[in-house]
Every structure is written in C-alpha cells, then in structure tokens.
Chains A and B, each alone.
Chain A
Amino acid sequence: MMRTLLIARRELAAYLRTFQGYIIIAMVLAVDGLLFNAYALGGVSKRSSEVLSLFFLFSSGTTMVASVFISMRLLAEERQAGTLALLYSSPVKDHEIVLGKFLSALAFLALMTLATLFMPLLVMVHGKLSLGHIAAGYLGLLLLGSASLAIGTFGSALARNQVLAAVLSGCMLVALLTCWLLARITEQPLSDVFSALALWNQHFQPFQAGVVHVRDVVYYLLVTYVALFAATRVLEARRWR
C-alpha cells in the first residue's frame, strides 16, 4: 500500500508541477462555465433544482472527456518513452503500479471537479438548493469519473502510444454509454443486462436529480474494479505473451 501511495503522490505531483495540469483544469472550468451559462442558466428561467440538474448533466460530459485525456498518459506514456521496463524491474507489483497511477489521476480529477463547486453555489444566490443535492451530484460525478478513469487506465495499458490509448478508451466509453440503446432493441433478459451496463443513462441520472441509490454506487465501483483488474492483467501479460 505504501508503494501504491508513493507512486500516486509522485504522479500527482507530476500533474501539479507542470503547467499542463493547470491548463486542463482551466479548460474544463471554462467549458463547464460556458455550458452552465448558456444552457443551465440561459433561456427561459428555470427552477433551481432544474438548473442544478442541468449543471450535473453537462459536468458529467466534461468529466468523461477529461477522464480520457487524463488517463491516456498513465501507462501508454511510460511505454512510449520506454520507461515501463524500468518500472517492471523495480520492486513494485503490477497492481501497485496500476492502482498508484489510477489514484493520482482520480485525485487530479477530484480536484478539477471540485473546482466547479462555485457554480452550483451561485444558484443559491436566488434559488433554493439543498446541500444534499449538490453532494449527491458531486458523488455521482466522482464515481462516473472514477469509472471513466479506470476504463481509460485499461485503454492506456493496452495501447502503445497516448493517442491510441485515448482512442481505445473513448471507444470503450462510447460502447458502455450506448448500452442503453442496445437495451432498447434487445429482448429480456439481455435488455436488462445491457440496461444495467449502461454507463450514464441508468446510473448517473438519479445522482443528477439528487437521489443516491446503492445500486448506482456499487455499479460505478464495480466498473472501476473490473477495469483496473483488467489493466493489471494486461501488465501481467508480458509474462506469457
């Protein structure tokens, strides 16, 4: 665990010591702010809960996109730069490498997501908001981000370079996102399986409305677990490929 935290700390410091990390946060904030002003607040006046729900809707999109960009470098960059072999030769286990890198990316994503907190708080100026709704929305964003990052980590483990990692992660995310479409065209029990697999449609919307379901929390944690487990297996595959 200590080695995992050591890797996580080192990686997080790499995000925050370079200007690149701040540019990513600033860009996400600007896009979120633009969407918040144009769609959540703009147009006909909406109730505060509706504005908040729209904010979380847009933020979920930016979180997923940001997750792909954050995670693409995690392992693919090491492989591209040829430093992965150094990691292999160090006394660190594969799952510690994956978990450490994932935790650093998650911490960075959490920092980025929490930087948008002032937007829902702005709604409180004239609206009636529950802090519970805000907390539920952010919990949803963090869980969605965690699942997306884990998928991105898996993509990064599979790919030889960062661009390919982003493409692979994007494809996997889109496949999971569009599961709800498959659920509509298939019959039971397969439709139930696809519906339960859908990354956003079934599991994020309750968070957006301020409702926390244990099943949704479990789903995102499981997606994270399976994706990280798969990423670890990919690293281990060097032994038999």
Chain B
Amino acid sequence: MSLRPNPWVSVLYVVGLVALFLGERVVGAGSMRLVLSGSGLTLVGLAVAWRVSRVVRTSGVARVLERWLLGLFLLGGLGLSLYFLQSDAAAFLVPVASLKRRVPELTGVLRALFPALLVTALFPLALVELAAASMARGPVLVPGRLRAALHSGLGMAFALIFAFSTLYVATRADVSWDLAYFRTARPGDATRLLVRRLPEPVEVTLFFPPANDVRQALEQYFRELARESGYLEVEVLDQAVELSRARELGVGENGSVVFSRGQRIERLKVPLELDRARGQLQRLDEDVYRRLRVVSRPRRVLYLTAGHGERGLLPQAATALEKARPGLSQLEEWLRVLNVEVRTLGMAEGLGTEVPRDASVVAIVGPGRDFSPEELAAVLRYVERGGRLWLALEPDGPGLEPLLEPLGLKLLRVPLANDQRFLLMSHQRSDRGNLVTASFSSHASVGTLASLGSDAALVFAGAAALEPVQPLPRGVAQDVSVRAPAETFQDGDQDFTADEGEPRRAWPLVVAVEKAGVSGASPSRVVAMGDSDVMTDSGPRGYGNPYLLVDTVLWLLGEEELAGVVSNEEDVPLQHTRQQDVLWFYSAVFLAPSLVLGAGFLVTRRRRRRGAR
C-alpha cells in the first residue's frame, strides 16, 4: 500500500516542540510548565508513533520518504533527551545526576549538543516536507528531488551550527584593539625652552617596576626632553629595589616621578596601568612643565584687584540686577602651571595706599565700577616704578582714563560686532559679538599666537576697541598686538547689524605698552585688552585664548623667551565659526552629492554618445 505524503504529522511534531519550548523556556516553573511540557512531549510522542505507523503502511519511494522523516523525528527526539538530561528534570534520574557531578563539563556538552541536533532535524524536515508538498499532486514521488531537499536542509543546519560554534569560540577567545585617540604627549616647545634655560641641574627620578607600559611611555618622553640640556638628569628606579633613594625623595611606592633641585622637590603620581594612566599621559607635558618651573624658577605673585565688580576666580551666579559672570579659574590654572600665585588686592589689602612690594603683576579684569583716586594713584605709582599691569576692560565698565592716558591709550566704549566672521555659541544673532581673529603682530606678548597663525585664532566676546592716542606720551612705546578682522563694525545700537554710521575697521583689541621707568627704575610693561571675557572660563577651548594669556603673563614677568606651546594630546570640544559652519554644511549636504551627480552625468552622457556612434 502506498500513502500520499501527509504534512500534518510533521506539523503535530513541530507544535509539540513549540509547546515544549514554551513550557521549558518561557514559563519555566509551576503547573503551567508541567501542562505545556507534558502536552508537548505527548504531541511529539504521538507524531513519532504516527510516523512509525506510516513507515509500516507504505512501500516504495513513499516508504523511503517516511523513513527519512522518521529518522529526522528521532534525531529531534534525541536532542530532546539530551535537553532533559542537562535540565533540572534530570534530578529524578539519579545515575545521570551522579555522572554530572563526576564530569561537570557534561552539562556544557549536552547544552551545546541538544540545539545542534534539533536544528539538524528541523531544517531538513521543513525542506523535505516542502519538496514532498510540491509533488503531492503528481502521479509519483521523485526520490532525487527529495534527496536534494534533504541535503539542502542538512547543509543549512550544518552551516548554522558552524556559524554558532565559530561565534562562540571567537567570543571566548576574543582579542581587541583600541584604536581610539590616544597618544602620550611629547615635549612641547615651552618645556623644551624651559629645560634649555635651566639655571642649575634638575634631577628627574622615575619610580616604576621593570617592563611596565607607563614607564616606557615616560622614559621615551624624558629621553627626548633630556636631549635639550645637560642640566636635566633622568634616572629610572624600581622603588622596591631602591628603598633608601625612594625614602630620601619621599616616595612610598612605584608610580611616581620626582623632580628635585637641592631641597626643592616636586612629585607627580602616575598610575601603573596604561588604561588608567592614559588621561594623564595625554597632558604629561603640562604636568612636567609646571613641576619643572616650580623647582627651577622663583614663585611670582599676581594681584587681582577686587571691590569694583571685577571678574573673580569663582563664577558669579545671575542676580536680579546682573547676569551670570564666568570666573577666572582657567586663568588661575594656567598661572599655577607658570608657578605664579594669585592673590586678591582691594582696599582691605592696602590698595588705597600702595601696591604690595612682592607684586610681580597687577591685573584689573573687567571692573564694573570706578576706582577711587587713591587706588588709581597707587596703581600709577606702581607702574611708574617699573611695575607690570594687566588691564582687561569692557565697553560698559569704567574707562580708567587716569591709567590709560599716561600710556597713550583710550577705550572706545562701543561694543564691536562682526556679521561675517564670528563664533557660534548660542545660535542667536548675539553670536555676532563673538569676534574671531587671527590678526597678530610680532610682539613678544603674542609670540606663540603669531607662530601658530590661523591655527590659534582668538575669540573675544563683546569687546571694545582700544585707540592709541597720537602723539604718544614721552617714553611710551606701543604695539597693537591683536586686531579685530577688517569687517568688524562698531555696534552702537547693539542690534548686531552694521548700520550707517557704524564704521568697519580692523579695530585694535590688545595693546602692549612699554614705558620708560622714572628716575632709573626699570621700564614698566602694560598689556591692555578691550575685553575681559577673553580671560574668563567662558572662552572656548580649542582656540588660542590660553596662549594669549600665557604669553601675556610671561611678557609681563619678563620671561618672554620661555613662551611656547605646551603639548597636550587631550581631546577638545569642537567649536567652529559661523563661516566654517556654513562651509561644512554646504560641502556635506550639497557640494559632495552634486559632485557625485555631476560625475554620474558625465559618465552616462559619454556612454550615450558612444552608443549613438
């Protein structure tokens, strides 16, 4: 007797497996699991029994088909048995449980085998049933077609098993490479200059264990730096071996870099693991520069005037009368790197009578109210005896004419704006007040900026121009070190639009002044800026503002020969001007696609022409 192929046997088998899956994997516990798993097993059993009866009742090619299908059913059944052997249901089977205890890897093997067997059964089952169904209306079954389907299904199953096994091995034996930005800073120009001008030998002692990645990075850095001067002596020690030397330098464990000159000792802690040390290695040059300055140069004091609404070190929150004001913590940070201490100077500290004798620089940053005549007189006396003054003014602040006039300067109290080259910060029209300029003179107070050129543009926010008054007072020499771009206009009505009567010019923004000293005193130095925001924390990173501050301080201190770039490999927030923003937008959204379309047009047109010929 020959029976027609019946797909419902396989459907019953698959429904049983689905019920088992739901019972074991979705429900997982309780009576529901019993019901689902029990009925699933029953359905699978019924399907196998039905298939056996069909094998018995058929003959010829149909019998071959039924045998193959029964074989696949049994293969799936074997998979199910292996599943139950590794599941909690196996607890009832004492011998197997003890075997699992003796061979703990057995559970893992069973867990990998049972899905493999199920896949090997189900894929060919599906394809053979499909092949049989396509021949259901035909007079006979073609064994070749059935065999091809079986092989196809087995091939798919093996491919899947191969893929899962390979992925499992790749996950277990994973190797990875972190290619994101990481680079140990190399010695920057400023550090190299500092080393070249060391007045006495400085010892650098690295305490690191042998064969350590961080040690290698540090050794490479210091080896390069030591080439600049014979006064820099670098030594690498293992703290565990050189205990007495470590104790002498106050080091208790490895992971320290000690800078010493006589009794002056500075330490730098660096983690021993490369992953943890990354951030520090990226700004290593800055850390080294700071410590080298501390051990090799005397500490200086910068007095920051207070009591007239000036910018302080800490930011000020907005009040009902005033908007929020950023602080000068970034400037303080840079000054700390230069071994300059910041102190405040107001009436309480004696500004009404005299500027302290230990003042290396006096800075007046963004005052909001007038100084008293006594205070101004004290500052003037300080300047005349060779003092160093740093003025950063605002259009809406006091003019400080008594200080500016003897220097041949005048503050034009009209804010500047630029409608072509400005920095986008708030994406409002007021952004036009954020002037971006790379117009520098060759003066020492902007030496680094001049060497970097447009790579280190400055950003001034709400600046006013400083006008040199001609003729200059006797003994005064001026240098307009920073100018605004030529299209900058005076925005009298503060609508950020160039109206008539609002002239466009390359307005002077920073002026460096040298004035001959009175009665044999050394010449005084003054830097006047038409904006105080350029010094505050609101200044964008990635621009040249920090170089302006550092070079200005170095010039005021008389150490302009040490001006240079400190190497820093830290990632920085991206900020771009309106012009760049527009350029990037049009190039990305329109220019590149247009070029592709243009190329496509040329290629297809040429082809059409060739075809026409």
* Residues on A facing B (Cβ under 8 Å): 16-19, 21-23, 25-27, 29-30, 32-34, 36-37, 41, 45-49, 51, 115, 118-119, 122-123, 125-130, 132-133, 135-136, 186-187, 189-190, 196, 206, 209-215, 218-219, 222-223, 225-226, 229-230, 233, 236-237, 239-241
What is the minimal beta-carbon distance from B567 to any residue of chain A, in angstroms?
12
What is the minimal beta-carbon distance from B422 to any residue of chain A, in angstroms?
15
- Using Cβ atoms and an 8 Å threshold, which residues of chain B touch A225? 159, 163
What is the minimal beta-carbon distance from B165 to any residue of chain A, in angstroms?
10
> CA–CA, A230 to B594, complex, Å?
39
Query: 25 A–B contact pairs at CB < 8 A?
Result: A16-B603, A19-B601, A27-B593, A32-B588, A33-B587, A37-B588, A37-B589, A41-B584, A48-B574, A115-B592, A126-B542, A128-B571, A135-B179, A136-B179, A206-B176, A210-B180, A212-B177, A213-B174, A219-B167, A222-B166, A226-B163, A237-B127, A239-B145, A240-B130, A241-B134
* Residues on B facing A (Cβ under 8 Å): 25, 28, 111, 127, 130-131, 134, 144-146, 148-149, 152, 155-156, 159-160, 163, 166-167, 170-171, 173-183, 540, 542, 569-576, 580-581, 584-585, 587-590, 592-594, 596-597, 599-601, 603-604, 607
Q: Which one of B163, B574, B575, B594 contacts A123 once the chains associate, using CB atoms below 8 Å?
A: B574
Q: Which chain A residue lies CB-closest to B145?
A: A240
| Contact between B596 and A115, CB atoms less than 8 A apart | yes
| Contact between B574 and A41, CB atoms less than 8 A apart | yes
- Using Cβ atoms and an 8 Å threshold, which residues of chain A touch B596? 22, 25-26, 29, 115
- Using Cβ atoms and an 8 Å threshold, which residues of chain A touch B160? 226
Given A22-B599, A196-B167, the answer on whether A36 and B588 have CB atoms closer than 8 Å is yes
Q: Which chain B residue lies CB-closest to A136?
A: B179
> CA–CA, A46 to B574, complex, Å?
6
> CA–CA, A209 to B461, complex, Å?
35
> CA–CA, A49 to B181, complex, Å?
8
| Contact between B148 and A128, CB atoms less than 8 A apart | no
Q: Which one of B131, B159, B170, B179 contacts A132 once the chains associate, using CB atoms below 8 Å?
A: B179
Grouping DSSP codes into helix (H, G, I), strand (E, B) and loop, the B interface class, with mixed when no group exceeds half, is helix
What is the minimal beta-carbon distance from A169 to any residue of chain B, in angstroms?
18
Interface centre among A36, A128, A130 (most CB of B within 10 A): A128
Given A17-B604, A130-B179, A132-B179, the answer on whether A230 and B592 have CB atoms closer than 8 Å is no
- Using Cβ atoms and an 8 Å threshold, which residues of chain B touch A119? 588
> CA–CA, A173 to B577, complex, Å?
40
> CA–CA, A25 to B601, complex, Å?
13
> CA–CA, A125 to B155, complex, Å?
52
- Using Cβ atoms and an 8 Å threshold, which residues of chain A touch B155? 229, 233
| Contact between B571 and A47, CB atoms less than 8 A apart | yes
What is the minimal beta-carbon distance from A230 to any residue of chain B, in angstroms?
6
- Using Cβ atoms and an 8 Å threshold, which residues of chain A touch B580? 125
- Using Cβ atoms and an 8 Å threshold, which residues of chain B touch A211? 176-180
| Contact between B178 and A19, CB atoms less than 8 A apart | no
| Contact between B156 and A215, CB atoms less than 8 A apart | no
- Using Cβ atoms and an 8 Å threshold, which residues of chain A touch B175? 213-214
| Contact between B180 and A239, CB atoms less than 8 A apart | no
Q: Which chain A residue lies CB-closest to B170?
A: A218
Given A23-B600, A128-B571, the answer on whether A219 and B170 have CB atoms closer than 8 Å is yes
What is the minimal beta-carbon distance from B12 to any residue of chain A, in angstroms?
23
| Contact between A33 and B588, CB atoms less than 8 A apart | yes
| Contact between B25 and A190, CB atoms less than 8 A apart | yes
Top 10 nearest A-B pairs by Cβ distance? A22-B600, A132-B179, A33-B588, A210-B180, A218-B170, A26-B593, A240-B145, A130-B181, A45-B573, A33-B589
Q: Which one of A19, A212, A229 contacts B600 once the chains associate, using CB atoms below 8 Å?
A: A19
- Using Cβ atoms and an 8 Å threshold, which residues of chain B touch A237? 127, 130, 149, 152
> CA–CA, A190 to B288, complex, Å?
53
Q: Which chain B residue lies CB-closest to A185?
A: B26
